[in-house]
């Protein structure tokens, strides 16, 4: 596998979210909207990380905070959801040494961007981008031990 290949699961989630946002004419808060989808998936790496750091109740509270913020007036993006997600993935590929980008990496990007509601909701639980990255690294080490 090449460095920074996007997992099939993440590609599918990005495609699904992009189609939904385009169909509904939504032009704002792309990262937060994708994080909601990722956290709603019980099997996603993003969900497992937030559950590990904040517990199951914390996952639900964080999701509610993000969803409630989306009801507020938002900055309107001048690019499509797919362009936004493509740029985000390209940036992450350049930043990571991971073999595969997962939902955890998108969670990291949203946590790192202090303008996202995801970042603010995670921060309310004392979780920041560094905490998310530590969990990603721990998960990768566990995977290496499991395979070895």
What's the count of helices (H) and strands (E) in the chain, helices before strands?
A: 7, 2
Q: Output the pLDDT for position 28.
A: 85
Mean pLDDT of 72-89: 84
Q: Output the pLDDT for position 142.
A: 82
pLDDT per position as a tens digit, 119-135: 999 999 999 999 999 99
Of 86 and 72, the structure prediction assigns the larger pLDDT to 86
Three-state SS at 100: strand
Q: Is the pLDDT of residue 88 over 60?
A: yes
Write the CB contacts of 136 (distance below 8 Å, at least 6 apart in sequence).
45, 49, 98, 104, 105, 108
Q: What is the mean pLDDT of the chain?
A: 88
Cα 119 to Cα 31, 52, 92, 104: the distances in Å are 10, 17, 17, 14
Three-state SS at 49: helix
Give the pTM. Answer: 0.86
């Amino acid at each position: 596998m090449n460095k920074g290949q996007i997992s099939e699961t993440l590609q599918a989630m990005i495609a699904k979210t992009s189609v939904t946002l385009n169909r509904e004419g939504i032009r704002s808060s792309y990262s937060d909207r994708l994080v909601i989808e990722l956290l709603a998936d019980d099997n996603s790496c993003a969900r497992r990380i937030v559950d590990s750091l904040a517990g199951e109740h914390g996952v639900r509270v964080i999701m509610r905070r993000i969803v409630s913020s989306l009801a507020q007036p938002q900055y309107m993006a001048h690019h499509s959801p797919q362009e936004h997600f493509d740029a985000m993935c390209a940036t992450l590929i350049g930043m990571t040494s991971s073999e595969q980008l997962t939902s955890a990496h998108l969670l990291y990007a949203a946590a790192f961007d202090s303008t996202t509601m995801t970042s603010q909701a995670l921060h309310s639980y004392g979780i920041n981008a560094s905490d998310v990255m530590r969990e990603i690294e721990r998960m990768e080490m566990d995977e290496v031990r499991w395979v070895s």
